A and B are shown apart, each in its own frame.
Chain A
């Protein structure tokens, strides 16, 4: 019964999304206040029914109702409760429902926070959110109904793909979707501004928090996915330049550019048209990401043939929103009043450069990801574009950008003084240089690029620190005064410093992978092998049982000299429900580095195990840096400027330019 209610709630949500699409937009067009008044209640109601539908599906999972096809295919009664819940979005139908639920949540949040927004803009924005939601409700109801039943109800479910039965993958999709879908708000604002024909710094103020929020979630989601792939796939890589990953990197790059260009718009009332375009592109790339992963076009161009309805449907949604957005842009952008030009050497000039490099890097990733698909479709030649392509294109575009980040952070708005900036940064540069020399002198092996990469990380961190100190330090001020001044800086300044320092931390972690050590060996029980600065001994191979799997684990002890510092226990798991084998890596964190072990064959007569061992110094910095980036974004979000933006406009109506 609950399942039918869920299905019905989804149909009601579709109806509400159609109401939300049509009525407020018509009201805004005809300036009819009553019609525009429908926008907020409709958004709240749509959120309510979408949430009800999602809860109904979750209830079917928790109660192991195998009469629901979706639950039967992706769950098992022996599964731990947490994975029964995460099972909801571990499959195509459920994850699309999660996608649209998050879209409805964002629409609801915009409606809730939008009391102070100009009515026409709010109505247009919610209309566009409604239209996107309507398209996805239709997609779910027509091609991917999660509430379909099976007759007769099976006794037991087929179980969840064991690789997905993992805490990392339980929270990775929601985070990623919060990022992807969060950009829909920027898209809706852009389309709203184009429809209204007006765009100003106040618009930027309203849209900036949403963009930052989406960007922070996307950053976390990507980092989470990367960490999952690192420990779950068993060969210790943290980024593969795999199309599925690139699909999330492209909106991230566009979103990063957008977060920066919005600041220029807010502060200097410039880069308006470009910001609108970026808002459209960031969400378009999110849609393309969803399409690439969901349609199966990546696993095979031909999986269209196996389920043409879904692929073609998503493609239609894609064409409608991206094509529609860009067409509207081409048609209406000339109407918008251009912002002023500005001096090349200035904060805004540096941010333009930032946008150029990020956009170019995004384009390079885009070409590398889609070129093989296009080439195969046109000529039939099969190629793979792998890490060498992305290293040859992405790195030369990102490294100069990172080198310039501290300079851009220090430049003043309007008219920057390059010489003064270099003077102010000389201490940071000097320290980073000395740090690089020390790293160079104290490490052995690895390419020359590795210490240079670490130096770049130092430069980014120290540059951010220098921005904070130079803003709070005055000659002759006591330490206490400096600290008080630093604490009193706007949170946006701290957010920006922390986020950029986070980039530096990630860069150090990436550079340090060059000093990693890898050993592949067949070990007998009692045999010892050297791994970088440590020694690893195989104690033995033992069978073990988990809640819904059997495991053969290789028990290993890690020593530093004579001292035991820990154990790693990689294993091979066989899941009862699916009889598939997976490798489980054994991890031991030593400081910021990790010892990583995985097994190949176990169960030989002499008790030996084929193992792959890695020593990965500083590897955790890669993800810690990403968390710092996201934290910086959230801190910026809590800035007074973002919180009080709305009342400010109401209090000073003169601030709204009458164009």
Chain B
């Protein structure tokens, strides 16, 4: 092989691998990204059933119903609109009525949101960021900013997914 051929082989294989990587990333960014919506968004934007997204808000007071075999129903609200959620599995330790929650899953044709994971952070002061933002939009945010800071400083290794996770 001449020097030129060797150089071309090197450059060619580099371009091939980088091209492959770029293709995969672009494909995956189109396909696997999950958007976040608050309950008002969900109701008003009319998201199609079957589209995966994350919903976040407060667990509505008095809406939590525990069925047999850890089948759980509750409503996620931003005090303006509420969306019913079903979930089978173990709830995170900090899951409580009136507290912030983020669930990932998709809407059913019935209009219920079927979650396959429910997330909450370790710290009881902590409100998932998306939830805080969406509540601010609705004008019902009242957590002091210093609480969020407190949470950030204390969770030395904030593994966010301290939570119940997919069963299926």
| Chain A residues proximal to chain B, CB less than 8 Å | 73-74, 89-92, 95, 161, 163-164, 169, 172-173, 225, 229, 233-237, 240, 242-245, 293, 296, 298-303, 305-307, 341-344, 352-353, 356-357, 360-361, 363-364, 367-368, 371, 381-386, 388-389, 392-393, 396-397, 518, 520-522, 572, 580-583, 598-601, 610, 612
Contact = CB atoms under 8 A, between A and B. Distances in A.
Given A235-B165, A392-B28, A92 B153 contact: yes
Contacts of B6: 341-344
Contacts of A598: 90
Of listed B7, B91, B160, residue having the most chain A CB within 10 A = B160
Contacts of B24: 364, 392-393, 396-397
Contact of A161 (B130, B145, B155): B155
Contacts of A352: 10, 13
Interface stretch (B15-23, B43-51, B76-84, B107-115): B15-23
Given A161-B156, A242-B161, A363-B21, A521 B70 contact: yes
B33 A396 contact: no
A572 B95 CA distance: 14
A386 B157 contact: no
B57 to A, nearest CB: 13
Contacts of B154: 73-74, 91, 161
Nearest to A366: B25
A520 B157 contact: no
A340 to B, nearest CB: 9
A610 B67 CA distance: 11
A21 to B, nearest CB: 29
Nearest to B3: A341
Given A306-B145, A343-B6, A164 B157 contact: yes
Contact of B28 (A91, A225, A303, A393): A393
Contact of A244 (B31, B148, B149, B157): B157
Contact of A600 (B35, B90, B165): B90
B73 interface: no
B33 A306 contact: no
Contacts of A388: 28, 31-32
B17 A356 contact: yes
A344 B93 contact: no
A364 B129 contact: no
Given A235-B164, A303-B149, A173 B157 contact: yes
A561 B156 CA distance: 44
B88 A520 contact: yes
A302 B143 CA distance: 14
Given A382-B35, A383-B34, A306 B91 contact: no
Contacts of A169: 157
16 contacts: A92-B153, A161-B154, A163-B162, A173-B156, A240-B159, A244-B158, A299-B160, A300-B132, A341-B3, A343-B6, A352-B13, A384-B34, A393-B21, A522-B68, A580-B93, A601-B66
A367 B25 contact: yes
B153 A520 contact: no
Interface residues of B, number: 64
Would you list the 3 A-B pairs with minimal beta carbon distance, nearest first? Answer: A360-B21, A388-B32, A306-B149
Nearest to A306: B149
Contacts of A92: 153, 156
B159 A242 contact: yes
Most buried by A among B94, B104, B159: B159
Given A303-B149, A389-B29, A612-B90, A522 B70 contact: yes
Contacts of A612: 70, 89-90, 164
Contacts of A363: 21, 25
Contacts of A368: 25, 28
B9 interface: yes
B129 A302 contact: yes
Nearest to B132: A300
A386 B54 CA distance: 11
B140 interface: no
A389 B123 CA distance: 28
Nearest to B36: A382
Given A92-B153, A353-B13, A582-B93, A300 B148 contact: yes
Contact of B20 (A172, A382, A396, A610): A396
Nearest to A395: B24
A161 B91 contact: no
Contact of B36 (A306, A341, A384): A384
Nearest to B16: A356
A299 B14 CA distance: 36
Contacts of B124: 580
A298 B153 CA distance: 12
Contact of A299 (B17, B35, B158): B158
A610 B68 CA distance: 10
Contact of A389 (B28, B149, B153): B28
A220 B19 CA distance: 32
B160 A242 contact: yes
B139 interface: no
Contacts of A237: 161, 165
Nearest to B31: A392
A233 B159 contact: yes
Contacts of A74: 154
B65 interface: no
Given A161-B155, A356-B13, A343 B1 contact: yes
B20 A397 contact: yes
Contacts of A397: 17, 20-21, 24
B42 to A, nearest CB: 13
B89 A520 contact: yes
B33 A383 contact: yes
Contacts of B98: none
B133 A306 contact: no
B165 to A, nearest CB: 4
A524 to B, nearest CB: 12
Nearest to B27: A392
B142 interface: no
Nearest to A89: B156
Nearest to B66: A601
Contact of B14 (A161, A303, A356, A583): A356
Nearest to A245: B159
A352 B89 CA distance: 46
Given A298-B158, A302-B129, A393-B21, A600 B91 contact: yes
Given A341-B10, A344-B6, A520-B70, A296 B152 contact: yes
B156 A91 contact: yes
Contacts of A244: 157-160
A458 to B, nearest CB: 26
Given A383-B35, A397-B17, A580-B94, 20 more contacts: A90-B156, A161-B156, A172-B157, A234-B162, A237-B161, A244-B159, A296-B152, A299-B160, A300-B132, A303-B148, A303-B149, A341-B3, A361-B21, A364-B25, A382-B36, A383-B36, A385-B32, A520-B70, A520-B89, A522-B68
Contacts of A353: 13, 17
A268 to B, nearest CB: 13
A306 B157 CA distance: 19
B167 A357 contact: no
A357 B18 CA distance: 8
B15 to A, nearest CB: 10
Contacts of B18: 356, 360
Contacts of B31: 388, 392
Contacts of A389: 28-29, 32-33
